[in-house]
Copies of this chain bind each other. A is one copy, B any other.
Amino acid sequence: MPKRATIKDVARLAEVSVTTVSLILNHKGDRFSKETISHVRTAQESLGYVPDYFAQGMTIKATKTLGVLVPDITNPFFSQFSQGIEEVASRAGFIPLIYNVGTQDTQSTNYLQELVRRTVDGFIIAAPNVGLDIIHQYLDQNKVPYLLMDQSASDNGDRIIAGDFEGGQKATQYLLDHHHRKVAVILPRQHSNNIDKRLKGYQKAMINAGITVDSDWLIEHELTKKGGYEAAAEVIESGVSAVFAINDEMAIGLYRGLQERGKRVPEDISVIGYDNIEWCQYVQPQLTTIEQPIIELGRVATGLLLNRLKTPDAKPQTIKMATKLVERASVIDYQEVE
């Protein structure tokens, strides 16, 4: 076991008792002189002494970490989201620790158990594949607060409504407004709550326009650049003139697949994405998309969680975030093929 500096070492160096050190380091040192306090703190710093919670029992629980569970840290959405969390968390003295859940279910139980055990104070669960049963067992039962995103919770927790239905509708409507009628959507087959709402928004816009959605227009591939890339063949085969990619990563992957097959965006096929990750501006043509206020989402999620930590019995809050169309260069009017 690693040998760390102990409270006894600090006491010895500062020439005071262990109790004195303990009281001073626990901010209960009012009774001591400024000089004594200074000696103790200097001794602590020079030894690099860090209180070992296990040894000192229940005296302090410095409750200052937030567990952030994300499904895919390589998706820029989640790294930007984490930035927003970090901003608010650090101002409140909390350290956000990011755990990449990935897409497998098997890891879930283990890490959640381990993190709760280490008394992480609260969780932002942005990974849709962390099961509600597990959340219930380890978090609800132990009264550990969490902010659940991208899932329907069965209970009344704090919620952020990210506007996915309207967003999906807005994206599709934008294509329809450009006179496209054969409009495909590319998305993952197994998909989260938020993505399902975007799909429903697409369907609503199509229904409203009196267009029957062809089954060939629902093109399913994984929620990554690679997935979008692989969707290109089917997109071309379907004969659509425009595509709503369910997130920007898929849109950008699709770009590559289309370009490799000699199809130009937007001249041959218009593409609209969703999220407005930074990369939208660094591809050609710059990607038209529906903006989610990603960093703001991170801030708001953290704010809700911190409030819940402070007042556990407060009424559940729901915050609605707005999406916004960001017009760039990847969508043009439908052109008849000459």
Q: Which residues of A approach B to under 8 Å, CB–CB?
A: 1-5, 45, 47-55, 57-58, 61-62, 64-65, 73-74, 76, 79-80, 82-83, 86, 90, 95-100, 102, 107, 110-111, 113-119, 136-138, 140-145, 225, 229, 252-253, 255-256, 259, 278-279, 281-284, 312
Contact = CB atoms under 8 A, between A and B. Distances in A.
Contacts of A4: 141-144
A195 to B, nearest CB: 21
Contacts of A256: 281-282
Given A48-B136, A74-B79, 17 more contacts: A1-B61, A4-B142, A5-B141, A48-B137, A49-B141, A53-B54, A54-B58, A54-B61, A55-B57, A65-B118, A73-B79, A73-B98, A96-B100, A97-B97, A97-B99, A255-B282, A283-B284
Contact of A83 (B3, B74, B95, B145): B74
26 contacts: A2-B145, A3-B143, A4-B143, A4-B144, A5-B141, A48-B136, A48-B141, A49-B141, A50-B138, A52-B117, A62-B117, A65-B114, A65-B118, A73-B82, A74-B76, A74-B80, A74-B83, A86-B100, A90-B107, A95-B115, A96-B99, A252-B282, A256-B281, A259-B284, A282-B283, A283-B284
A121 B83 CA distance: 25
Contacts of A52: 117, 119
A50 to B, nearest CB: 5
A113 B145 CA distance: 24
A200 to B, nearest CB: 28
A141 B48 CA distance: 6
A183 B208 CA distance: 56
A186 B256 CA distance: 26
Contacts of A283: 282-284
The copy count of this chain in the complex is 2
Nearest to A93: B110
A102 B119 contact: no
B98 A100 contact: yes
Contact of A58 (B5, B55, B137): B55
A252 B283 CA distance: 8
A74 B278 contact: yes
A156 B284 CA distance: 47
A63 to B, nearest CB: 8
Nearest to A286: B256
Contacts of A102: 86
Contacts of A53: 53-54, 117-119
Contacts of A253: 282
A2 B312 contact: yes
A114 B64 contact: yes
Contacts of A2: 142-145, 312
A48 B137 CA distance: 5
